[in-house]
Structure 1
Amino acid sequence: MKTILTTGSNGLLGQKITEKVLAEGRVKLVATSRGFNRYPVSHGYEYAEMDILDVAQVRFVIERYQPDVIIHTAAMTNVDTAEASKESCYELNVSAVKTLLSLCEEKNIQLIHLSTDFVFDGANGPYKEEDAVNPVSYYGKSKVLAEELLKTSTANWAILRTILVYGITNDMSRSNIVLWAKGALEKGQPINVVNDQWRMPTLAEDLAEACLLAVEKNAQGIYHVSGKDYMSIADLVRKVADYWSLDKSIISEISSDSLNQTAKRPVKTGFVLDKTIRDLDYKPHSFEEGLKMVDEQMKSRK
């Protein structure tokens, strides 16, 4: 049985990987994150505090647990923060990958690295894995720089690019578009939603499953991992309203330009999933199925 080490285990994807491993026992898990463990169950796996910017600590943890695979989920993902704090973004999204890669090369560890649809400019989505990257934000650029590091590495690596991940954990320290829309509409708060950006939202459980499939199948190269439904952000929010029978009349459609966001967003991303479905046996849920899973999890936690 392989031992995997996850970075960013307190995040949404990190917690879903822990959840899957505990439920299915397909691998041994070492979960790592900054600070204390926020996952509610502490047995059945190892947890180690690890700040991915602390090179000595990263080396210590990896040498202690000797993983076969590292799934690297930790990153700065707030697009506007990345644009405003380029140096911090570079440290988290590029320098940390350099550190992990050098250790993976030295110790023959496979690296599975999470990337994003924001490596593309959004002019010609949905995208295949081999399509040319052309980021329009610094966040996207940082993820391209990290991808380039992997491509020139002698380590065994795979890149999983994903889109707009949603889901719920026990301690939702950070929201996502589904929870934000549901929460605002339940409170009767009017919301503005862009109608000129298109995405394929990804259920966190699907992405966690893709990570474990990549481990099991010793995936190499780039894979696109998302939900299977293509929609505008405005349509996405309306679907959330429909699912929970909330008032759609307080949703106002606006253009991206009117938001004056710090960072530019790609217009139409989305992925062609054929390679991932074929090579990894990936089976994404529909958006409605994803919302149903989120709803059931919310009910079970009350």
Structure 2
Amino acid sequence: MSRFVVTGANGLVGRRACALLAARGHTVVGLGKGVRRAAGAFDYETLDLTHEAEVAPALGRLSPEVVLHCASMTEVDACEKAPDAAYAANVTATAAVARWTREAGAHLVHVSTDYVFDGDSGPYAEDAVPNPRGVYAMTKHMGEQAARVLAPGCAIARTAVVYGWPPVEGRLNFGAWLVKTLSAGQPVKLFEDQVVSPSFADNVAAMLVELGERRLGGTWNTCGGTVLDRVAFGRALCEVFGFDAGLVVPTRMADLKLSAPRPLKSGLLTDKAREQLSEKPLALTESLKRFHASWLAARAGEAG
């Protein structure tokens, strides 16, 4: 058993990684901004990773053998409007964590995104050349580079459109937003011209845990195993959940005035993860079945 630190422990993937690691018998400390919002049998400490001078002392005291770096500023339009904050969260914080892992001899798993690609020719394999567009994409790519330079041997784990239930307090992920809106009988406008790799958060967390446990390095696409457009995802979700697929309204990205650019023909190829990891990227139908089960379990818990 190993000592793990998971950053972004209040987030969608981070809290699941913490819970899974604890269930597997590891010593786990989750780090997050503000008060603890994630339940589970693991310790939690507050740390703002953008305060660079505080990172090394905190990690030194906790002395992890592996760091899963899930923390990030992921709201694409918010990053475009606040580039300094995006740089601090996605580059400065990553560099501080990576530098400590190298000096301490710890293993780093750094979570990144399919947005490092321009979306002109996806889906992308791990060795495709990034061409980020927009502040979020550029800072995430810079974070990857910082991790590689400062922590040679680290793992770069790219994921995409992560969804799960329950959602993070105060912020609905794509899947949770769909469920909440469609269950109320309200229509949803979804992009018919953006191709993505929707990723079930529990599956992503399990793949990150495996990368950490096995101390694997290199670049990995740790995302869902199906590439499709958002309209097709919405209709597939309706079929599994029993919602009215007629509420899914196709639209095009150009029809909306978005602050930040987004890749259109995106998505990630998962051959490497399917061949080399025990935790396989889930196909869409299985992911949605598990998503539905977690939603039903949460509803039952609320009713009880």
Query: In the alignment, residue 135 of structure 1 is paired with which amino acid?
Result: P
Query: In the alignment, residue 176 of structure 1 is paired with which amino acid?
Result: N
- Tell whether the 8 Å contact from 2:167 to 2:176 is kept in structure 1 after alignment: no
CA distance in 2, matches of 1:40, 1:118: 30
Q: Determine whether 1:248 maps to 2:245.
A: yes
Query: In the alignment, residue 15 of structure 1 is paired with which amino acid?
Result: R
Structure 1 regions of 5+ residues with no counterpart? none
Instruction: Give the SS at the match of 2:236.
Output: helix
CA distance in 1, matches of 2:246, 2:273: 38
Aligned to 2:216: 219
Deviation at 1:154, TM superposition (A): 4.7
Aligned to 2:17: 17
- Tell whether the 8 Å contact from 2:155 to 2:216 is kept in structure 1 after alignment: yes
Aligned to 2:266: 269
Q: CA RMSD in A?
A: 1.6
Aligned to 2:35: 36
Aligned positions of 1:53-92 closer than 5 A: 53-92=50-89
Instruction: Give the SS at the match of 2:133.
Output: coil
Deviation at 1:101, TM superposition (A): 1.8
- Tell whether the 8 Å contact from 1:48 to 1:61 is kept in structure 2 after alignment: no
Query: In the alignment, residue 102 of structure 1 is paired with which amino acid?
Result: R
Aligned to 2:6: 6
**TM-score, normalization by structure 2:** 0.93
Aligned positions of 1:107-118 closer than 5 A: 107-118=104-115
Matched residue pairs, number?
299
Query: In the alignment, residue 8 of structure 1 is paired with which amino acid?
Result: G
CA distance in 1, matches of 2:105, 2:242: 51
CA distance in 2, matches of 1:176, 1:13: 11
Query: In the alignment, residue 30 of structure 1 is paired with which amino acid?
Result: V
- Tell whether the 8 Å contact from 2:67 to 2:212 is kept in structure 1 after alignment: no
**Per-residue CA distance 1:15-42 (angstroms, 9 max, x = gap):** 11122123332x221111112211223x
- Tell whether the 8 Å contact from 2:11 to 2:168 is kept in structure 1 after alignment: no
- Tell whether the 8 Å contact from 2:167 to 2:173 is kept in structure 1 after alignment: no
CA distance in 2, matches of 1:59, 1:87: 22
Aligned to 2:194: 197
Structure 1 residue ranges (4+ consecutive) displaced by more than 6 angstroms after TM superposition: none
Aligned positions of 1:58-207 closer than 5 A: 58-169=55-166, 172-207=169-204
CA distance in 1, matches of 2:153, 2:103: 11
CA distance in 1, matches of 2:199, 2:110: 17
Instruction: Give the SS at the match of 1:297.
Output: helix
Structure 2 regions of 5+ residues with no counterpart? none
Query: In the alignment, residue 270 of structure 1 is paired with which amino acid?
Result: G
Deviation at 1:97, TM superposition (A): 1.0
- Tell whether the 8 Å contact from 2:188 to 2:248 is kept in structure 1 after alignment: yes
Deviation at 1:66, TM superposition (A): 0.3
Aligned positions of 1:230-249 closer than 5 A: 230-249=227-246
Deviation at 1:279, TM superposition (A): 2.7
CA distance in 1, matches of 2:285, 2:262: 25
Aligned to 2:285: 288
> Per the alignment, do residues 258 and 225 of structure 1 end up closer, same or farther by CA in structure 2, a change over 3 Å counting?
same
Q: Determine whether 1:209 maps to 2:206.
A: yes
Comparing 3-12 and 155-164, the one that deviates more: 155-164
**Per-residue CA distance 1:190-240 (angstroms, 9 max, x = gap):** 221110001111111111111111112211111111111111101111112
CA distance in 1, matches of 2:248, 2:165: 23
CA distance in 1, matches of 2:45, 2:257: 40
**Per-residue CA distance 1:132-191 (angstroms, 9 max, x = gap):** 101122111111111111222254311000011111137643211111112111222222
CA distance in 1, matches of 2:31, 2:235: 36
CA distance in 1, matches of 2:42, 2:294: 22
Comparing 79-88 and 48-57, the one that deviates more: 48-57
CA distance in 1, matches of 2:21, 2:170: 22
